[in-house]
Structure 1
Amino acid sequence: MSERIVVDPITRIEGHLRVEVDVDENGVIKDAFSSGTSVRGLELIVKDRDPRDVWAYVQRICGVCTTTHALASIRAVEDALQIKIPRNAHLIRDIMNETQFVHDHVVHFYHLHALDWVDVVSATNADPAETSRIAQSISSWPKSSPGYFTDVQNKVKKLVSSGQLGIFANGYWGHKAYKLPPEVNLLAVAHYLEALDWQKEIVKIQTIFCGKNPHPHYVVGGMATPLDIDSDNGIHAERLMHVSRLIDEAQQFVNQVYIPDLLAIGSFYKDWTYGGGINNYLCYGDFSTGDIYDTKLYRMPSGIVLNGNLKEVLDVDLNDPKHVQEFIDHSWYTYDGKRAGKGKHPFDGETTLDYTGPKAPFKTLDTEKEYSWLKAPRWKGHPMETGPLARMMVGYASGKEEIVTIVDDTLKKLELPVSALQSALGRTVARGLETKLISGWLRDDMDKLLKNIKGGNQVTFDRSKWEPSTWPERTKGVGWIEAPRGALGHWIDIKNGKTENYQAVVPSTWNASPRDAKNKIGAYEAALIGTQMLDKHQPLEIMRIIHSFDPCLACAVHLTDLETNNTTEIRLG
């Protein structure tokens, strides 16, 4: 006899996600259902708009993933119009995305996911001197004295004794699934607080190059970034050096705080191999080392790994209707006026809402029917996982030397096989390794940009195809990008200079998808099945697995009022 457990909302994510699981009498999850609970609509908003402006609208899909949606949109328009951007523009765009990755991954580890592994209240029982010894044994980070950790511990004690835990409220403190000793918990809490200060610095890179953060400015045809080392108003030498310093500081924080913490915490959870899921991995590829239109030069190679088979990498073609389709059999949409078992490629996709779910209040969803505002994307009919683990798996299987080296070296330190990556812990480790790699690429791309500027090349924009009079009457394009949470694609159909159709298939749509026409489950649902829960009333294991994907449901579903075309405003009292 199974029991249905509902977690709604899943907290410490971006957006609104509901998870329902069926648990047997032994506490093992036998089935799982992932539901996006707000409705998608931005594709309707951009219809009939100027394609050159669409990026500014779809950038508002999310307050976190702003840069990646803007760049995917601009790449789609440039693909449709066959625009080739200057080298400097490509470097600046990559620097923006690399900055997004490093910021996003560090924030996710400490502020969204760490508390699934770290018991904050336990830190009050730590010996600060022992925490200091551990910190100094794993890193040269300067903030590691006994006095420093004593001060942090006193702050936590004050919160706990007051009964008002603030940002640490409502945790499952004392749960049996926590394995860290108090001293490591104290170390993690200290760095949690430090990361709050650090994260507001690195985003200044986007502010300098693109005017602001969030929602930095972009332009079809390159970048509107005025490079001029001798100008008082442009991006001059002093600002470039400021960016360079911020990159150095980011590398230091990643290498001396994030990675040591990740390995220290991971070493206590080596037996926690739950949450692998479907073991199908998707990567579109990104971050070229040379010609930006040569996919063979991608640092992150594109490809598909099926069933965890690292001996073969299959191709992915975003223009091929057989490669990418979205199904709606368990989603609140219709295609051509009906809900059929046939998927649609994004070029032919539609966003027609048809809510058939229960009216509030209700206890559970009818998961035999439609139960999510997410569609179900599939590659050749296969559900896929995308994100840091997928990129590491595809890169490893492709033989990318720096990926193979960092994966092998890390697994050797943890005394784990490659197969251990196919878990919630592995997903978390992969994100950290990716951050280490990308912080290095960030440094490399900034050095290349500085070299170009010093050599007299300050061009960032090509306006040769800017005017609609130069465009074909009808054209289509796809823009892809690797976002922090995975493979992101935007598809645009341009007719008579206006947006005729627009579809975005985002990482969390792949990962959090409901069942499809053949009842195949998505990555979230598959990852939960088989997990042993120690306490059905404190679903820490569910949170740990779901958070390992870094969900962004704001990207996967968007809230709008289709009658008034106004977004819904929610006021908290």
Structure 2
Amino acid sequence: MAKERIVIDPITRIEGHLRIELETDGGRIGNAWACATQFRGIERVLQGRDPRDAWAFAQRICGVCTGVHAIASVRAVEDAIKCKIPPCAELIRSLVSGMATLQDHVMHFYHLHALDWVDVMSALKADPAATSRLAASLSPWPNNSATWYREVQKRVTDSAAGGLGIFAGGYWGHPAYRLPPEANLMALAHYLEALSWQREIIRLHTIFAGKNPHPNYLVGGMACAINLDNQMAINQVRLDEIAGMIDQARRFVLEVYYPDVLAIASFYPDYAAIGVSSPTLIATGESAYSCSGAPAGGVIPAGVLLDGNYGTAHPFEHKRIAEFVSSAWYSQPEGDRQGLHPWQGRTEPHYTGPKPPFKELAGQPKYTWCKAPRYDGRAVQVGPNARILLALAQGHAETAQLAGEGLGKLKAGVEALNSTLGRTYCRALESVLLARRMDQWFTQLNERIRSGDVATFNPELWEPESWPNQAQGMGFMEAARGTLSHWVEIDNRRISRYQAVVPSTWNSSGRDPGGQMGPFEQALAGDGKHPLADPKRPIEVLRTIHSFDPCESCAVHLLVPGGGGVEVKVQ
């Protein structure tokens, strides 16, 4: 059979602009190119600004991944000026970022990824009573009644009469869907419940950080005061509200999200060997396991799994990171074959591609706005599966027990965590761990408050006059999508250089000078076995790409149109 070129543009149900170009032969993908087609450029916007303001600009990298960029940014500045924050501030940051991750994981599964596995039209044929029995066999969630499922079915049926509304445009009826109607209806009901759930639990951000999206942070701590006797501060009423939100978040994860993922995954066991990507994975140690801001801190230290050896964790060394622009539309004096550490990195846009609209970008030397980060010359996969695999390699007992139970039900080994199904499962598994950790952080915060420790801000290094004239800092955190780092250089108390290396930059990167594919590309074409039955309905591709939870706005950062200062050169 002749090779066929396929373009999927845009990839929907993600944040930002992503184009996937494929070469297929006999129903299998032989080659792939991940093309980020939107230039954004936050690093240039930050140059010359007050470092204390960097977080407010940096979290505008994305409208979804907001607070994580703020935390990485304030940590980078705090690292540069050697500022230590109070323990209560660190706990509050952890609670804010932890709830954001729980919301992100649940929303990703139900609202971005589940419809790759769940057939909405099939759900309309389900027996609500049988659906109720199925759901009750999986968990004690209170909305397991036949009446509830009948109501959901009616709502969606009424919507279908008007063109399916939010469910229009799906590949309903595709032979790759395997769930029975009752499982489809159960998942569809939980899709709708998750919409209301996420709106409630994220109110934690408004209490601790003023708003969502774009919660407020502060170099030196948090911009919120704790005073149990003051209506305008974090008082006992607010703490009781937060306790309720944490309980609500935990219950939905344990009784809905995690059981749903296991149940749905059991119908797609072959995807535990589909979408295998880079065998080198990185996590920097802060995720569901600790609230330490240091790259080497926490219960699970930062580490690297090299070349498919998932049993041995190697130390993480930031000096081994280099970003390449060999396939990306940027220029640098060092040339395209030279990788630069983020402290030496530049963001100089230089578009050399075809004039839009264009048919293909594949085969051109440069085809994306996404740089190509590498670790010691290796393409790297980051994300929840990297964190779970690293925890297992380091003998984290709680992770091992939960993963063992889940993999046992799926009849899969640890190597399956590097796959389309594995990435999806690890996101749910991590949510269980994180929900438990939220309880622990909140308990620690209450204990400190009861002991009289209510400081949330360290003012000692707030004034720039207390800083050195030159400083460098880095801020790491494990965001929902993987390892995030911000890098700052400060000269004369102003930002002279700023770089962000984000999860979707690692995962959606293009080729490096050696021709090594990025993780998206490897997952689709690395072994030549990835299926694609119908090029006009590429649901198999969506399953694998969505399993990474792409955020291309983060990958290529931010540009305010008309803001000045950013010029894109066109050759």
Q: Normalized against structure 2, the TM-score is what?
A: 0.96
Equivalent runs, 1:153-168 vs 2, <5 Å: 153-162=153-162, 164-168=163-167
Structure 1 segments unaligned to the other structure (5+ residues): 569-573
1:352 corresponds, among 327, 330, 348, to: 348
Q: CA deviation at 1:454?
A: 1.1
User: Which residue of 2 is the match for residue 513 of structure 1?
Assistant: 509
Match of 2:275 in 1: 275
In the alignment, structure 2 segments of 5+ residues that lack a partner are none
Higher mean C-alpha displacement, 246-255 vs 267-276: 267-276
1:309-355 CA-to-partner distances (Å, cap 9, x unmatched) read: 1221112222x1xx11000011000111x642010001010010100
| 2:193 alignment partner in structure 1 | 194
2:145 is aligned to 145
Q: Separation in 2 of the partners of 1:117 and 1:76? A: 40
Give 1:416 deviation, angstroms. 1.6
CA shift, 1:160, in A, is: 2.2
Give the alignment partner of residue 497 of structure 1, picking from 490, 493, 500: 493
Q: State which drifts further: 524-533 or 185-194.
A: 524-533
> Which residue of 379, 391, 395 maps to 1:395?
391
Residues 136 and 71 of structure 1: CA distance in aligned 2, closer, same or farther (over 3 Å): same
The answer for the alignment partner of 1:439 in structure 2 is 435
Residue in structure 1 matching 2:329, options 324, 327, 332: 332
Q: Per-residue CA shift, 1:365-399, capped at 9, x if unaligned? A: 14331000000000000000000111111111111
Deviates more, 1:213-222 or 1:265-274: 265-274
Paired AA for residue 45 in structure 1: V
Cα pair distance change 1:294/1:212, threshold 3 Å: closer
2:415 aligned partner, one-letter code: S
Secondary structure of the residue that 1:263 maps to in structure 2? helix
Contact 1:288-1:294 at 8 Å conserved across structures: no
Q: Does 1:428 align with 2:424?
A: yes
1:253 equivalent to 2:252? Answer yes
For 1:129, the equivalent position in structure 2 comes to 129
Farther off after superposition, 239-248 or 359-368 = 359-368
Question: Any idea what the Cα deviations from partners look like across 1:422-449, whole Å, max 9, x if unmatched?
Answer: 2101110000000010011111101110
Contact 1:287 1:299 (C-alpha < 8 Å) held by counterparts: no
- Please state whether the residue corresponding to 1:333 is helix, strand or coil: coil
Shift of 1:301: 3.1
- 1:473 and 1:264 map into 2 onto residues whose CA distance is 57
Give distance in 1, aligned partners of 2:370 and 2:225.
Answer: 40
Q: Which moved more, 1:508-517 or 1:408-417?
A: 408-417
Equivalent residue of 1:565, what SS?
Answer: coil
Check whether the contact 1:332–1:371 (CA below 8 A) recurs between aligned residues: yes
* Residue 96 (structure 2) aligns with: 96
1:77 shift after superposition? 0.4
- Distance in 1 of aligned mates of 2:469 and 2:147: 69
How has the CA–CA distance of structure 1 residues 547 and 45 changed in structure 2, closer, same or farther, with 3 Å as cutoff?
same
CA RMSD of aligned residues (A): 1.7
Quote the Cα distance in structure 2 between the aligned partners of 1:294 and 1:212.
26
Deviation per CA, 1:246-284: give whole Å up to 9, x if none: 000110110011011111101111122210112211111
Secondary structure in 1 matching 2:169: coil
Contact between 1:474 and 1:495, CA under 8 Å: does it hold in 2?
yes
1:206 alignment counterpart: 205
Cα distance, 1:405–1:324 mapped onto 2, change above 3 Å: same
Equivalent in the alignment of 2:169:
170
Alpha-carbon shift at residue 485 of structure 1 (Å): 0.3
Paired letter, 1:98? G
Q: Matches of 2:558 and 2:253 in 1, distance apart?
A: 35
Per-residue Cα deviation, 1:48-86 (whole angstroms, up to 9, x for no partner): 100000000011000111110000000000101111111
Structure 1 segment 11-410 matched on structure 2, within 5 A = 11-24=12-25, 26-162=26-162, 164-272=163-271, 273-287=273-287, 292=292, 298-318=298-318, 320=319, 323-336=320-333, 339-410=335-406
Once structures 1 and 2 are overlaid, which stretch shifts more, 301-310 or 437-446? 301-310
Residue of structure 2 aligned with 1:456, choices 445, 452, 455: 452
Q: 2:464 aligns with which of 461, 464, 468?
A: 468
Letter in 2 for 1:328: V
Q: Report the CA distance shift for 1:289/1:19 in structure 2 as closer, same or farther (over 3 A).
A: closer
Q: Whole-Å Cα distance in 2 between the matches of residues 279 and 168 of structure 1? A: 36
Structure 1 residues 172 and 514 mapped into 2: Cα distance closer, same or farther (>3 Å)?
Answer: same
Q: Which moved more, 1:69-78 or 1:359-368?
A: 359-368
Hey, what's the Cα distance between the residues in 1 that align with 2:164 and 2:145? 25
Tell me how far apart the structure 2 counterparts of residues 479 and 416 of structure 1 sit (CA, whole Å): 36
Aligned to 1:571: none
For residues 472-483 of structure 1, what are the structure 2 equivalents within 5 Å? Answer: 472-483=468-479
Letter of the 1:165 partner, please give it.
L
| 1:140 alignment partner AA | P
User: Number of paired residues?
Assistant: 562
Q: Give 3-state SS (helix, strand or coil) of 2:304's partner.
A: strand
CA contact (8 A) 1:289 1:297 kept: no
Are the structure 2 counterparts of residues 117 and 229 from structure 1 closer, same or farther at C-alpha, using a change threshold of 3 Å? same
Preserved CA contact (<8 Å) 1:278 1:527: yes
Provide the C-alpha distance between the structure 2 equivalents of 1:489 and 1:405, rounded to a whole number of angstroms. Answer: 30
**SS of the counterpart of 1:334?**
coil
In 2, Cα distance between equivalents of 1:73 and 1:67:
10
Percent of counterpart pairs with the same letter? Answer: 47
Whole-angstrom CA distance in 2 between matches of 1:16 and 1:254: 29
